[in-house]
Structure 1
Amino acid sequence: MSEASSGAAGRVAPQPEAPLDPRAIEAIKLRHPWRTVLAVVLVIIAGLFIYDAAFNRPVYNWAEVGKYLFDTRVISAIGYTLQLTVYSMIIAVVLGVVLAIMRLSPNPVVRAVAWVYLWVFRGTPVYVQLVFWGMVPVVYKTIELGIPFTEAVMTITTKDFLSYFTLAVIGLALNEAAYMAEIVRAGLLSVDKGQDEAAVALGLGWWHTMTRVVLPQAMRVIIPPTGNEVISMLKTTSLVTAVPFTLELYTRTRDIASVTYQPVPMLIVASFWYLVITSILMVGQYYVEKHFAKGVAQRPDVMKPSVETGVVGVVGLDDPELTDDGTSSRRPGGTS
């Protein structure tokens, strides 16, 4: 037997070290004393404010708040506020989708028209726009239908055709459509271009590509800001007094306060109902976001190895018949 073989035979295979005695790690929790102090201070301040508002501020007049909280005029005003919100948002979403597609159009004229619309309605305050819409029956007293430069076939009085409620809905919807267009455009751009190319390769037309491939993926990006816009629209309805439309929640409570000479309780009543409605909308937004986010944040379970790591041998360490230079002392025939 050669010296290399005898040296390899005389070597002793390394024995695995005995496992250490496993003991529980004694972790010391990191303390945040100033965080606790800040929380206590905030709780004390909140408690003092509530106590002061409940007992030391007669101007709040909580009895008056309870008296008008469920008043029929207030409940009716809530209905008008919800109608303004729903109708305006439906029109704004539909028009926003159209404007977003126009903004992404390869036609420069179509893109320019959409850009000018966004420039005008995003660049001017919504209150100013509502004032203009309230003046439409004054500026355009009649609407004439017929062939241009010929005698009108039909003449409609604008004041009778467009009520203040309708003008308020139009004003809110056209303003909100400018913001919804940018939200929808951002959602469409968030979808990888390869999705659109794959749909075209499969023979899908534009409509099927948009409704079955692009929009379902873009909704995950569109829904959160759209929910915020719905809540914002609910509060923006308080500005329709500029049209003027006076049957929504804020203006109605203000009219009641002008009779009772107690504006603060009526402001609390309006704020209470705004908070109730926005809370319901926030819950609905949460579940809609959860629905469209299915499968996005989920990850597959980590695959467990079929063989324990300790059983797997390491080439070069587990073979006792290796020589010092790393070559095996075994011969092709299986003998040393």
Structure 2
Amino acid sequence: MSESPGAVSLATAPPPDEPSKVVTAQRVQPLRRPGRWIATVIVLVLAAQFAHGLITNPFYQWDRFGYWFLRPAIVEGLLVTLEVTAWSAVSGLLGGILLALARLSKSPVLRAVSWVYIWAFRSIPLIVVLLFLYNFSALYRTLSVGVPFGPAFFSFDESRLATDMVIAVVGLSLHEAAYAAEVVRGGVLSVDQGQHEAAAALGLPKGYQFRRIVFPQALRSIVPNYVNQLIGLVKSTSLVFYVSLLDLFGAAQTMGSTYPGDVVPLLLVVTVWYLILTSLVSIAQFYVERYYARGATRTLPPTPFQQLRASVGQFRERLRKEAAV
């Protein structure tokens, strides 16, 4: 029987006058990396020791942790944290968009005012801003709207308007807007200049160009950076305790002063709740980034479930190949 050209035989029959030889395929062994295995073992040992100490150390008082985790005072503080975060995130983003547009404006006045605002609020610590707003009524007891250096149209008592919730939201929003402005400005600048030129060549109005062409493309860069800011905002809400607003951290502090023996379990409760909140924000970030990645990548990044299914499939395939050898 004739063989086709280029065919390779793994086992051939030897000539009659030569001893029998059988050529078999040899499995290629992967390169051994002892350093990686040693590092893996060290990390696993340290992780096991940490988990063992965390579970068995009686100082953590896990029974008291379970008692406090869903207590009404803690849940009410959690709701305050969510409310402050939601209002501050929306207000900060809207303020950041306006500040970014002002910095990108051709007006030197708008650019200067926006730059000074961003410079000031990125330089002043958030706790200083909150405390300054908390004592703002000592400087201005009444606020009025009217002609500068002239008569006032109407005025109102600042102390009656500035509740603890308002002070917290305004302080966080002012601080967040300064950082959001740079995030938005960076996203707008990341859009290819050809997109601006193509929109201008079509004769589209400036506002329409920004809303329908530039800003949707800029969101691909804005979303991951601003969600990172949002995670920081969730943690920054713990500072509103210093303006007499009982958020999650403030509720735990109040309960800790009443029950000094439960300070550590209460701190663990706060820690776990913040971990849950930031994890939920991170999950939302993944799916939002995946949504805006459409059209920019050939294949969308796999979801965690898809990654798990692919890993299980690869593991089963590896076991099947090893069993067949």
TM-score normalised by length of structure 2? 0.82
Alpha-carbon distance, 1:148 to partner: 4.5
1:189 maps to 2:205 = no
> Does the CA contact (< 8 Å) of 2:164 and 2:245 recur in 1?
no
Q: Distance in 1 between matches of 2:152 and 2:251?
A: 41
CA deviations over 1:171-201 (Å, ceiling 9, x no partner):
1111111111111111111111121111121
Q: Is the 1:168–1:245 contact (alpha carbons within 8 Å) kept by the matching residues of 2?
A: no
2:78 and 2:137 map into 1 onto residues whose CA distance is: 27
- Of the structure 1 ranges 94-103 and 141-150, higher mean CA displacement relative to structure 2 is found in 141-150
- Amino-acid identity (%): 37
Query: Structure 1-normalised TM-score?
Result: 0.79
Deviation at 1:142, TM superposition (A): 1.6
Aligned to 1:21: 8
Aligned residue in 2 for 1:38: 39
> In the aligned structure 1, how far is the partner of 2:7 from the partner of 2:264?
72
1:180-239 deviation per Cα after TM superposition (whole angstroms, max 9, x unaligned): 111111111111112111112112111110011111111111111111011110000001
Report the RMSD for the aligned CA atoms in angstroms.
1.8
Q: Given the superposition, is the C-alpha separation of residues 105 and 22 from structure 1 closer, same or farther in structure 2, using an over 3 Å criterion?
A: farther
Post-superposition CA distance 1:72-114 (Å, at most 9, x none): 1111111110111111011111111111111111121111111
* Partner in structure 1 of residue 322 of structure 2: none
Task: Please tell me the residue identity of whatever aligns with 1:251.
Answer: G
Corresponding residue of 2:253: 254
Do the aligned residues in 2 keep the contact of 1:93 with 1:180 (CA within 8 Å)? yes
User: How far did 1:133 drift?
Assistant: 1.1
Q: Secondary structure at the residue paired with 2:211?
A: helix
- Tell me whether 156-165 or 22-31 shows the greater mean CA deviation: 22-31
Which residue identity lines up with residue 58 of structure 1 in the other structure? P
Please tell me whether the aligned partners of residues 146 and 152 of structure 1 are also in contact (alpha carbons under 8 angstroms). yes
Alpha-carbon deviation of 1:53? 2.4
Alpha-carbon distance in 2 for matches of 1:142, 1:74: 36
Rg: which structure is higher? Answer: 1
Task: Compute the displacement of 1:26 (Å).
Answer: 3.8
Aligned equivalents of 2:154 and 2:193: distance in 1?
Answer: 49
After superposition, residues 67-216 of structure 1 pair within 5 angstroms as 67-149=67-149, 152-216=152-216
The residue aligned with 1:314 is none
Q: Which runs of 5+ in 2 are unaligned?
A: 11-24, 300-325
Cα distance in 1 between the residues matched to 2:179 and 2:202 = 34
What are the Cα deviations for residues 124-161 of structure 1, in whole angstroms up to 9, with x where unaligned?
Answer: 11111111111112221122344445554544221111
Could you tell me whether the CA contact under 8 Å between 2:126 and 2:172 is conserved in 1? yes
The alpha-carbon distance between structure 1 residues 263 and 113, as it changes in their structure 2 partners (threshold 3 A), is: same
The alpha-carbon deviation at position 54 of structure 1 amounts to 2.0
Q: 1:174 to 1:37 in 2, by over 3 A?
A: same
Q: Which amino acid aligns with 1:85?
A: T
SS at match of 2:256: helix
Residues of 2 paired with 1:205 and 1:150: CA distance?
39
The answer on whether the counterparts of 1:165 and 1:245 sit within 8 Å (CA) in structure 2 is no
Q: What is the CA–CA distance in structure 2 between the aligned matches of 1:283 and 1:148, rounded to whole Å?
A: 49
Does the residue aligned with 1:156 lie in a helix, a strand or coil?
strand
Q: 1:293 to 1:129 in 2, by over 3 A?
A: same
Aligned partners of 1:64 and 1:265 also within 8 Å: yes
The equivalences for 1:284-299 within 5 A come to: 284-298=284-298
Match of 1:333 in 2: none
**Number of aligned positions between the proteins:** 281
Q: CA deviation at 1:18?
A: 3.6
Q: Structure 1 residue 22: deviation in Å?
A: 6.8
Other structure's SS at 2:31 match: coil
Cα shift at 1:297: 1.5
> Which sits farther off after the overlay, 36-45 or 263-272?
36-45
8 Å contact from structure 2 (residues 78, 248) kept in 1: yes
Give the structure, 1 or 2, with the largest relative contact order (CA under 8 Å, sep 6 or more): 1
SS class of match (2:172): helix
For residues 164 and 174 of structure 2, the distance between their equivalents in structure 1, rounded to whole angstroms, comes to 15
